Structure 1
Amino acid sequence: MLDSVNKVCVVIGASHAGVNFAFNLRKEGWQGEIVLFDSDPNTPYHRPPLSKSYIIDGDLNSNLLKPLETYQKENITLKLGVKVTAINRDDKTISIENEGAQKYDKLIIATGARPFIPPISGIESATNLFPMRTADDAMAIKSAIDTSEEKKVVIIGGGYIGLETAASLKKIGANVTVLEREERVLARVTAPVMSDFFMELHQQNNVEILTNKNVTSIKTENDLNTVFCDDATSFDADIIIVGVGIRVNTELAQNADLDIEQGIKVNEFAQTNDENIYSIGDCTFHYNPHYKRYLRLESVQNAVDQSKVAAASICGKEIIYDTIPWFWSDQYDVKLQMVGLSNGYNDVLIRKEATENTSFSVWYFKDDELLAVDAINNGKAFVLGTRFIKGKQKIDKTKLVDVSIPMKPTTFL
């Protein structure tokens, strides 16, 4: 066990990864100081609900990762609304904007990512244009929507953030149009059958989704925006939401000469090429033993699991990061649960449950190997898919699609 008395562990980033790490580090027996820095001034909060329930009810206090008094109880210091400007590996300090320096013995980089704002002509002059990444973003969108008149909202990007935001805004009375550059929504992450399902779901809820729409410019006059596409179509918008991807926050690590490759590169213990510096969460490029390759994942599951591994490692326990990725999305009354990574699939099977109108699952295979499962309102398929992927079990595909055969652990083998 590491002697941590009089030691200081500093965490840059107080979202899911950083906060869970701090509490896990205490749980593992760290006796020294723990200090969390984040440029976001809000008490650390859950991010997935921002595009879902939070944009509807706006209650941040019911959305906190931990109650504020819990940090005090565990002697974890929060430094919120504070920007870290540099990591100084030689003297083991971080530089803080307008506040000097902070010494560390162990440093955790959990800087996550920021929204990518595409170089669209006129975008910098648009009125009521927002990304969807932080609580302040969500509240600004909600405030712009909250009037007696129906607002026209154009969402640029038909990924999960764009679609979830569309569903939430529709619930509070907005007129929503989603513009997707690709030929289908969710084109990079799921099979056509799932794209078709969500396209139809939104259309049934009176959200207009248009594909093959490449936005080229925005013009703004009298607080009204007009969004122009390269096919000569245009769309008026009181509010524009940009959800076209993210940029990983690697600048601090890169300027400190840490290894960068699609993210901050870490080993199986979440440790960088500096033995005193670890990195966790969305900003990391880590090795996954199951897939036998390095990955960068944007997921709460990844952030939480890496936080446990890093905390254990710092306290002298070698727990290897070896987890099957999983994700979820809530839109209207539909819950999508995803497990595994479908990259490289060459066969897709669909199982439609006979007794449930809106319950089905999509199973992605590379030859006979199950890579991933997407489950719509079907927790059983998600759980079994996780078990089969983790165990690398061979599945009888004929049985899988036969809905007369019950979904149980042994019936598809």
Structure 2
Amino acid sequence: MTAIAAVMIFVVSYGLIATERVHRTAAALGGAGLMLLIHATGGRSAFFSEHSGIDWNVVFLLLGMMVIVGVLRQTGVFEYVAIWAAKRAMGRPFRLMVMLVVITACASALLDNVTTVLLIAPVTLLVCDRLSLPVAPYLIAEVMASNIGGTATLIGDPPNIIIASRAGLTFNDFLVHLAPLIVVIMVVFVGLCRWLFRPAFVYDPVRAAEIMRLNEREAIRDRPLLRQSLAVLVVVIAGFVLHPVLHYEPAVVALLGAGLLVAATRVTVEESLRDVEWATLVFFMGLFVMVGALVETGVIDSLSRAAASATEGRLGLTAMVLLGASAVISAFVDNIPYVATMSPIVADLVQAGGPDHQVLWWALALGADLGGNATAVGASANVVVLGIAERNGTRISFWEFTGYGLVVTAVTVALCAPYLWLRYLM
């Protein structure tokens, strides 16, 4: 009975998160509270268990990176980069889009994609207004680029952080296994942008001349802080890359970097914490408690056995089904709770199958991350960008986003299948 009640609580909470009937943090916290109330999990399991409790590595990694990015925001460096890109594009609309999506993808590989679009989107609004360009195609292209670019690294997309923590994967693992494919996908995506958004590429020479007169250096508000912040960011990224040598977890590296940045600069504690998305962190905590309750009650174990039985232990079939199903499901629900739910199942399949079953983690990551581009609710960054656009007088409808997103998702996920098959399953 407890297992059935736990499943019902999870399904209802998940439905509230997916439909946004209530705030996702409230839904996750409510679900977590009910799981504790019916004893589907307990305090010790929820807060201290490595397998069925809150994954503090994920929470503190996000916290540390949010603090670092919040300090970087105060320097004006992101505005500088966007204006620089517009000038290098000579005001040409397609060149501008290429520059912005490449910058967004690269930034999302080093920062989480929600933070990246929060920083890039307002500047895009400014540049498009100066060039008299429709802003919706640029924002849609950028958020899709952020989801694609974020797939390449451990810290680029929250689902990757969950996968890395559950699977014991390092920053370098993601670089070696996913980054080469993401480079190819980005090249294809740029070509898709030329075709999908071609009506938006109308050149206005007068407006272009105006953008060329902007001085990007004026966007930098605090040069000493910029130098300090970039130095710390480089050290943090180096710490991620050198994990096999240093043996510091990514969460420890991020917290050390955040602490060093706050201690060594004039930034106050209040300023450094101002941009931390506390609601997101609490959402993760509630979600981990709910998923942990399914682990504790044996639901996850039953699902993993059923999944293995359905594919009859055939690795290739399992990987392809996982890739496709993850893409489809992540198109309609936020990929964060989906991956949090699926990761224990995949962990059981990998443990039962051996080292060659590691491909299942890459299938899950690619399907969930790239599937998030299909609709407006597929990834957190999508929802954030649509909100920014609406607050600035540009409404991007669900179906406008989906019309582009389904094409991009179909093409990018299709590219993943032969990559996984040829590299891991031949």
Give the TM-score normalised by structure 2.
Answer: 0.28
Structure ranking higher in strand proportion: 1
Which structure has more relative contact order (CA 8 Å, sep 6+)? It is 2
Query: Whose Rg is larger?
Result: 1
